[in-house]
Amino acid sequence: MFSNPLKQVAEDYLYTNDELVRERTKQQLIRAGSSAVAPLIDALIITLRKFNSASLGKKKMEIFADVMIKEGVLGGKYADMVKEQIRGMSDQEGNGISFMQAGVSRKARDHAWQVISQIGESAIKALFVIVNDRDKLKRLTAAFALSAEEHPSRFVVNSIITFMPVLVKLVGDEMGEATGGLLVRTLSLSGDKNAIEEMSDFAQRGDMSYDECNEMIIDGAIILIAKSR
Amino acid sequence: MEVDQIAWDYIMGTPRDQETFSHALIKVGPPAIFPLLRAGLRTTQEFKPLQTSVWEQKATDAESAWIYQIAEPMLKSIYTIVNAIGQPAYDALCRAMWERQDERLKVLAAIVLLQEEQPSSRTVKQVNDTFKMLWENDQSKKYVKQSAIIVILSHFLAHAGDSGHQQALRVGASQLNVSVEQAVVMSRNTGLLYLIR
């Protein structure tokens, strides 16, 4: 059985704290073009699982937080909030999602998206092939990677619209709905009126503000991916 | 950068990118029109609605999303440049219907023209000439694609005040049991769907 060498490169890229390693692996992935996308999504799943604070003990969380603060991933008031949260954790394990998990998972997502957006349209196409995959986890993770884009281009918007009717069929399935939520959220950032309306309805039903709803969709996806097996 | 690439990047860009690329295209002037039409056709092909065989997706739902959320913004983007360049751009659109062999490009040029609410008398005359030329050609060849252009141009001329075309539009709308406005949208949508069939 042959393993894809890009898989290890993608894992190293997303998980490393060493900026030199990050840059070297990033360039390797960019050079690989759209074939880097599938390994990146697999690596993102693995990375999010590693960052799952619900499965980490308090001690590991402290070590992890120290590294993150030292590396500048978490700074200022967020560093204090994370420390405070870890102090309040039981010795065994945390529950739900911590600030740190939310932060570092987003960071990994942003790194994945940096490579995809730098490769360009061919990589975005490859990402949407995964969005249309039968594997629900991969589909969700691809939509999660896309959620790093705060100013979607028409290419991204059109790609979402093309796949949207398929996702409507996924209502009732937790990962499917989370995928749809992420895509609607990205669509709403482009100013799409229907998507904004849908987000507002969703926020109202959940008794949340619009911004909270935005963040909740991201956190929900992180939890689902991180706890997946 | 090639004008074709600029045109594609303009249609596919973020709002900020679109602003940057629109300046470049307006600067290019009428030679930007054919690249824009080609980029528009590429958009229709790249984001074709899903087929009915995909997960029991209804073709009509996918087509409707494609028309209103993909094709309409693309038309709006092209029209923005045409309108900003002015008369030479309208001339280029009319030329596209005369000179080009690509039927899809002709249909797209006609649909872009249909967006104009206040056409100049020069454009109206050119469209009228184009209509007559296509009509004469159509006498022996009953192509659906040619008819699509003819219907769209007829709607354009009706909107420009031609009483004969206005009457034809009213008759067509009443046969379909819809309003005149709805009939125009239906013809435009049929023309758009022709681009992906």
ipTM: 0.85
Domain that holds residue A81: 5-226
pLDDT, position B50: 66
Name the minimum distance, in Å, from the CA of B189 to any CA of chain A. 17
| Cα dihedral across residues A179, B68, B94, B23: positive or negative | negative
CB-CB neighbours of B87 under 10 Å: 11
Q: Residue written as tokens 């993608």?
A: A10
pLDDT, position A74: 66
pLDDT, position B184: 94
Radius of gyration, CA atoms only, chain B: 17
Q: Over its length of 197 residues, how does chain B's per-residue pLDDT go in tens digits?
A: 699 999 999 999 998 899 999 999 999 999 999 999 999 999 999 998 765 445 555 677 788 889 999 999 999 999 999 999 999 999 999 999 987 678 899 999 999 999 999 999 999 999 999 999 888 876 666 555 557 888 999 999 999 999 999 999 999 999 999 999 999 999 999 999 999 87
Amino acid at B93: L
Minimal Cα distance from A195: which residue of B? Answer: B69
CB nearest to B57's CB, from A121, A161, A166: A166
**Contact residues, chain A, for B65 at CB < 8 Å:** 161-162, 164-165
Q: Residue written as tokens 């056709």?
A: B41
Interface of B with A (CB under 8 A): 11-18, 43, 46-50, 54-58, 61-62, 65-66, 69-70, 73-74, 77
- Number of H-type helices and E-type strands within chain B: 11, 0
Reported as a single tens digit per residue, the pLDDT across A104-132 is 899 999 999 999 999 999 999 999 999 88
Contact A161 B70 (CB under 8 A): yes
pLDDT, position B52: 46
**Contact residues, chain A, for B54 at CB < 8 Å:** 166
**Count of domains observed in chain B:** 1
Assess contact for B121 and B162: CB atoms under 8 A: no
Q: How far apart are CA B178 and CA A150, in angstroms?
A: 41
Domain that holds residue B50: 3-194
Judge residue A5's burial from the number of C-beta atoms within 10 Å of its C-beta, 0-12 exposed, 13-18 middle, 19 or more buried: exposed
CA nearest to B150, candidates B161, B138, B162: B138
pLDDT, position A97: 65
First to last CA, chain B: 31
Q: Over its length of 229 residues, how does chain A's per-residue pLDDT go in tens digits?
A: 557 889 999 999 999 888 999 999 999 999 999 999 999 999 999 999 988 766 566 666 677 677 777 767 666 766 777 777 777 666 554 455 677 788 889 999 999 999 999 999 999 999 999 988 889 999 999 999 999 999 999 999 999 998 877 776 666 788 988 999 999 999 999 999 989 999 999 898 888 899 989 988 999 999 899 988 7
pLDDT, position B89: 97
Contact B12 A153 (CB under 8 A): yes
pLDDT, position A164: 77
**Count of domains observed in chain A:** 1
Residues 6 or more apart whose Cβ sits within 8 Å of residue A57: A91, A92, A93
What three-state secondary structure class fits A133? Answer: coil
Assess contact for A168 and A177: CB atoms under 8 A: no
Q: How far apart are CA B194 and CA B197, in angstroms?
A: 5
| DSSP string of B130-176, one letter each residue | HHHHHHHHHTT---HHHHHHHHHHHHHHHHTT-HHHHHHHHHHHHHH
Minimal Cα distance from B74: which residue of A? Answer: A154
Assess contact for A108 and A48: CB atoms under 8 A: yes
pLDDT, position A133: 83
Q: Residues B13-29, buried b or exposed e (16+ Cβ, 10 A)?
A: bbeeebeebbeebbebe
First to last CA, chain A: 22
* Structure-token pair, residue A15: 């998980």
Mutate to test the interface with A, among B8, B14, B44, B48 (most CBs of A within 10 A): B14
* Structure-token pair, residue A176: 């499917």
Residue A152 contacts B, CB cutoff 8 Å: yes
CB-CB neighbours of B161 under 10 Å: 10
